[in-house]
Amino acid sequence: MAELRWHPLIQDWVMIASNRQGRPQMPKDYCPFCPSFGNVPDYEVLEYDNDFPALSQNPPEPDEGIANDFFKVKPSYGKCEVILYSPGHTVTMPELSYDHMKKLVDLWCERFNVMRSDEKIKYVFPFENRGEVVGVTMPHPHGQMYGYSFIPKKLQLETASAKEYYEKTGNCLFCDTLKNELEAQKRIIFQNEHFTVYLPFYCEYPYGVYIMANRHVQYITDLTEEEKYTLGVTIRDTVGMLDSLFDYRFPYMMCMHNAPVNSGDYSKDFHFHIEFFPPMRSADKQKFNASSETGAWACCNPTCPEETSKELRAAYAKYKENEDKIQRV
């Protein structure tokens, strides 16, 4: 079964995708993303159609006899892609070269443009799940990209807040957030010419850093070639920083927030950025989204952002000190 079901209590669509129950835990001696096994060609970076998609551009019709005038349903239209970062099975993002990261950013942009060319797609969402603790079944370095036929609720709230702020002040909410964070300096981790990495004043996760474009752009595809190059380096160094925090491959969810597509003009009020959600609150303790977070959407960060910012700045300094020892591919 694959369909979208309307949730009237929160006014959002829920993806029903029972086919994803069949996702396998890969045997240790096989990987479909390694070229040597013959499932994919030789590549540097590669788009691969998801074998177990929650959304499809040719979705089946919803099952008969379940929906009615009250219970609303529609086909699970959309697109689910896998973005392969490297042919190396055990390669981590900090081990990727500057040029390799630029190719990865270019692939994100290419696939973003392909997805938004479908007028039925309303939101394009590149993301990465890293680590078994967040449910990863495939250890090969990769991310994903979903194209939704609707704007998911969190993005509805975010875009509505940004638009409301712009209408009241004439300013971009994200630009003003960055301005105030830079003035405070308490939660800035590092900055380069084109991007700023910081722990938000209101961060929900202990190490939930944001990467914010210094220039006001609504889409990743609006970045200049130099900005795309720098974005690749910034993402890589952010992951290197997180890995240096406790000296292991730090699990996280990385979510790229662009403006909606095929849904109106967001050029003045939305601002491209990346949000990280690492599920650890210390080296060996996980931060769970329990009843308050899940049932009430009332987040609780068990740490002080100003203190964890110090930890992250120290981890970044440690990563940069040891960067020349990393063998990049």
Question: What is the pLDDT of the chain when averaged over all its residues?
Answer: 95
Give the residue from 217, 196, 222, 195 showing the smallest Cα distance to 270.
217
DSSP state at residue 323: G
* Full residue range of the structural domain in which residue 34 is found: 2-325
Residue 192 has pLDDT above 90, yes or no: yes
Residue that wins the pLDDT comparison between 63 and 170 = 170
pTM for the complete prediction? 0.96
7 catalytic residue (yes or no): no
pLDDT band at 285 (very low <50, low <70, confident <90, very high): very high
Q: Average pLDDT of 254-279?
A: 97
Sign for the CA dihedral angle at 135, 276, 51, 28 comes to: negative
Give the residue from 28, 45, 128, 147 showing the smallest Cα distance to 88.
45
- What pLDDT, on the 0 to 100 scale, is given for residue 215? 98
Catalytic residue among 100, 142, 194, 271: 142
Give the residue from 55, 59, 75 showing the smallest Cα distance to 67.
75
CATH number at residue 275: 3.30.428.10
Q: Average pLDDT of 169-177?
A: 98
**Could you tell me if 109 and 220 are in contact, meaning their C-beta atoms sit under 8 angstroms apart?**
yes
Q: What residues does 3 pair with on adjacent strands?
A: 16, 75
- Rounded CA-CA distance 236/141 in Å is 13
CA dihedral 170→171→172→173, nearest 10 degrees, is: -100
Q: What is the pLDDT of residues 222-237, one digit of tens each?
A: 999 999 999 999 999 9
- What pLDDT, on the 0 to 100 scale, is given for residue 327? 86
Domain count, the chain: 1
CA-to-CA dists, residue 97 to 140, 290, 296, angstroms: 17, 38, 42
